[in-house]
Amino acid sequence: MNALRLGTRRSQLAMAQSRGVADEVTRLTGRPVELVEITTYGDVSRESLVSIGGTGVFVSALRDALLAGEIDFAVHSLKDLPTSQPVELALAAVPPRADPRDALVARDGLGFETLAMAGRASGPARIGSGSPRRISQLNAWARSLGREIEMVPIRGNVDTRIGFVRSGELDAVVLAAAGLRRLGRGAEITDFLAPDTVLPAPGQGALAVECAASRPELVTQLARLDDPHTRIAVAAERTLLADLEAGCSAPVGAFADLLRDGQTFTELRLRGVVGTTDGAQLVQLSTTGPLPGSVDEAVAMGRQLADEMLAKGAAGLMGERAL
């Protein structure tokens, strides 16, 4: 049986994510999977995500390889995926979501509030992040504590970012909890940033498995990895992002969590936030309704909340429009 070719970015995190999906595909289908490493523009550019456009910079090369028949399917971090889906490609599966939260890796094992209150001898605590969304919400959190922090824009892989803390250049960095755990580095987390305080990026913690729409048999095979609850949740989040007309590097946070009645999911709560990067202005709203029975119903919930946020002035706070 010929091996399926799985296209992946070359970063350690992307490789770890792809190996996990490859193992699951083999377990479910019996087909061997080989990884094909592909370099994307987002991997080689040292510019900020905002300056290079943000949306799609980590996925376009993988999609080109799919359309050229060089690979059979690709695995993406869902938060990196543009909200518009090309008709030539199928989002075959959204596997069960990992931890959606942001996480702090700080000096001396500190949490965010302790770090913000303590600062450093020379001034406010210095915290690294390349995400306008994180910068906005962390600045707002510090303001609520009556403190200032210095948010420092950074790029690079996990080792590079955590290295800024180990060297003393920064007091902390903020990363996705799911990524750290997929790399086996969860023990380095000093604080989890709960969605009640810092909303994650739309789709954070989830993966996307994509293949050519012209291969229905493969779409069906890969669909066995799909988790309907995760797909519904991220559909609501990504619709909110799309209807705000914001790219993945805009300061937009969104999280849809499923609420239980006993052992059964009965409701979906969708929360969204848009803010200026200094944290001075935020539009933060939520809506809760019966658990959507389809992706279309989840999309409607996302659109409703986006409309409410736009009515509250969200568009003027984003600083970036979709390209």
Q: What residues are annotated to the active site?
A: 79-80, 133-134, 155, 161, 248
What span, in angstroms and rounded, lies between the C-alpha atoms of 119 and 71? Answer: 49
The residue assigned the tokens 């915290």 is 127
The residue assigned the tokens 């498995």 is 209
What span, in angstroms and rounded, lies between the C-alpha atoms of 121 and 126? Answer: 11
Q: Which residues pair with 208 in a beta bridge?
A: 76
Q: Are 103 and 191 in contact (CB under 8 A)?
A: yes
Q: Are 137 and 198 in contact (CB under 8 A)?
A: yes
The residue assigned the tokens 């030539």 is 88
Query: What is the torsion angle, in degrees rounded to the nearest 10, for the CA atoms of residue 244, residue 240, residue 195 and residue 49?
Result: -50
For 193, phi then psi, to 5°, come to -95, 100
Neighbouring CB atoms inside 10 A of 43's CB total 15
Q: Are 72 and 217 in contact (CB under 8 A)?
A: no
155: left (phi over 0), alpha (psi -120 to 50) or beta: beta
Query: What is the torsion angle, in degrees rounded to the nearest 10, for the CA atoms of residue 12, residue 16, residue 22 and residue 23?
Result: 140
In one-letter notation, the amino acid at residue 225 is: L
Q: How many residues does the chain have?
A: 323
Q: Are 323 and 55 in contact (CB under 8 A)?
A: yes
Cα distance from N-terminal residue to C-terminal residue, the chain: 42
Q: Are 97 and 206 in contact (CB under 8 A)?
A: yes
